Structure 1
Amino acid sequence: ALAGSERDPGLDLDAMQSLSHYWEGVRRQYSPFEADMRAGTSDVYNHEMPGGQYTNLREQARAIGLEHRWPEVSRAYADVNQLFGDIVKVTPTSKVVGDMALFMVANDLTPADVRNPAREIDFPESVVQLFRGELGYPADGFPKDLEARILRGAQPVEGRVGATLADVDLDAARTKAETAIGRQVTDTDLASYLMYPKVFTDFAHHRKQFGDVARIPTPAFFYGLSDLDEISVDIDKGKTLVIRQTGRSDTVDEEGKIKVFFELNGQPRAVRVAKAGIQGTGTARPLAKDGDPKQVGAPMPGMIATVSIKPGQKVKKGDALLSLEAMKMETLLTAPEDGTIAAIHVKPGETVQAKELLVELS
């Protein structure tokens, strides 16, 4: 519009078109992560999800095996919004509503179940933080009956939660971060650690084990190599790895893995890789019995983040047992009644499926 005027920005239209072609190709590589919306929908007037939350929540649902129940997740989002008092849904409150919606669908909970004081529910940690006031308060507050149920007798924060934060000893925090990841940290690393200690620590360990995976070409990173495919990976200035896949075995081992053969700069190598769609034949973890308060099962698929107990330990109803992490959502599982820890069937880092038995009480 400004071409030929005194404010002509001098844009090169051909160069801009080349960028369009580039991003068109990039989007094809990332197509599996699209929200898969093929048309406009009026359903937004029912669930009231912000656009970014819609795509994030749909991906979360896909990751924990609930994609086929997306209409139920959408309805649950609207139900949770009303349960919470019809709150303003922006980052991060919209995520909390989404966490609770997924939790309800994964556990087949209705709004009546959530309100029922006789029903024992381990709410997602983000929901507890919301009602505790860590994200602020709606103008009219939260529904008092639900607040009392979620906080289990704990008192919400008074006033602005940021005003109660203690000062950070940056030197001590830096030492703690360096101990956690086994190397010196930069100021940027320290800032990341202070804001997201677990996420940063996991990232640092991943980087230590695998290096900078961003250097792998996108198609190879997402989809792997087919037989006889060859790629080059620039790991540093003047240092290039040439990787060529040469074949794979047809035999699937007891863990559901096959051998993949490849050459690294001409040297033959092999690696075991999980075969898609194949279950390992190892011993499956038993399922928790419905209605048995002495058995604690997984409320949804996820990874065991922490285990706070040990066999023989006495616990009271409501004591923390372990935490489960599923697609940016953490749930703290607590003791359903007083008792003694009879058995622990999981350890941190293990992946579990919904309803698998995690802890037994006696």
Structure 2
Amino acid sequence: PFSISNHFFDCQLSLYDGCLPSQVLKSLPRIEGRPGATLPPLDFDALEAGLRLLHGDDITEEDVMSAAMYPKVFEEYKEFTGSFGPVDCLSTRLFLDGPKIAEEFQVEIERGKTLHIKALAVGDLNKTGQRGVFFELNGQLRSVLVKDNLAMKEMKFHPKALKSVRGQVGAPMPGKVIEVKVEPGQKVEKGQPLCVLSAMKMETVVNCPLTGVVTVIHVNTGTSLEGDDLILEITAEE
């Protein structure tokens, strides 16, 4: 496994005498002596300056050491805290499992400043894969939308047509596809009907915006669409 071979490659300890290192490392290069002795000098001042440029001026000495020893882990940590804030003020159970409904807890965000929070309810999953979370914050009713990553793995999202990409045709309004009038590889002319949508008991014809060839069709008869959902793609005729 990579973890084992990487361990041998990183360590290269003299106690692994014999054929075992060769069998594990195989074609990986061997390092003679202490691995750290061959590393180039590290400019900690330059590293700190780079971290401050990327993450702001709240970089500590511990951050610099972490970035020096575990650069990938440190970047993942900063990305996480950038999205979710200083979660170190939460207890381990609250961080891993979240609060139970009707549970009250306190979070000290700084010395002398404590938030009193009570979890009230979690709403149903919406079309964008989010749930409404309702809670009390210092006695005031609050709510936020939280992405349900576990549920989103099972959800399918229809791609959106990008207005900046010529040839991507999107739905002008929410509706259901009742007829697709073209097929992949077919040459189409500007203004030619491409498909028919049904919305609020009315039929809407989606016309071709340019002359070209249909390359990909993203819908079938019966597909339900939201506004700007991608219907098909056309390669413009040169």
Q: What is the TM-score when the length of structure 2 is the normalising length?
A: 0.53
Alignment of 1:190-209 (within 5 A): 190-209=64-83
CA distance 1:247–1:187, shift in 2 (3 Å) = closer
| Secondary structure in structure 2 of the residue aligned to 1:240 | strand
Unaligned runs of 5+ in 1: 1-99, 101-123, 285-362
Give me the CA root mean square deviation.
3.1
Which of residues 8, 13, 21 is equivalent to 1:136? 13
Alignment of 1:1-362 (within 5 A): 100=1, 124=2, 126-132=3-9, 134-137=11-14, 138-142=16-20, 144=22, 146-149=24-27, 151=28, 155-249=29-123, 251-254=124-127, 256-265=129-138, 266-274=140-148, 279-282=153-156
Return the alpha-carbon distance in structure 1 between the equivalents of residues 37 and 8 of structure 2.
17
| Secondary structure in structure 1 of the residue aligned to 2:115 | strand
| Secondary structure in structure 1 of the residue aligned to 2:105 | strand
Return the alpha-carbon distance in structure 2 between the equivalents of residues 231 and 180 of structure 1.
34
CA distance 1:135–1:255, shift in 2 (3 Å) = farther
Q: Hey, what does 2:232 align to over in structure 1?
A: none
Return the alpha-carbon distance in structure 2 between the equivalents of residues 128 and 219 of structure 1.
35
Q: Name the amino acid aligned to 2:13.
A: G
Unaligned runs of 5+ in 2: 159-238
Deviation of the 1:164 alpha carbon: 0.7
Deviations 1:207-250 (A, max 9, x none): 3443332322444333222333222212122322122222222x
Q: Name the amino acid aligned to 2:109.
A: I
Deviation of the 1:165 alpha carbon: 1.4
Deviation of the 1:254 alpha carbon: 4.5
Return the alpha-carbon distance in structure 2 between the equivalents of residues 160 and 185 of structure 1.
31
| Secondary structure in structure 2 of the residue aligned to 1:261 | strand
Higher strand share: 2
Higher helix share: 1
| Secondary structure in structure 2 of the residue aligned to 1:185 | coil
CA distance 1:130–1:257, shift in 2 (3 Å) = same
Return the alpha-carbon distance in structure 1 between the equivalents of residues 8 and 90 of structure 2.
42
Higher-Rg member (1/2): 2
Q: Hey, what does 1:76 align to over in structure 2?
A: none
Aligned length: 156
Q: What is the TM-score when the length of structure 1 is the normalising length?
A: 0.37
Identity of aligned residues (%): 29
Question: Do the aligned residues in 1 keep the contact of 2:101 with 2:120 (CA within 8 Å)?
Answer: yes
Q: Name the amino acid aligned to 1:147.
A: L
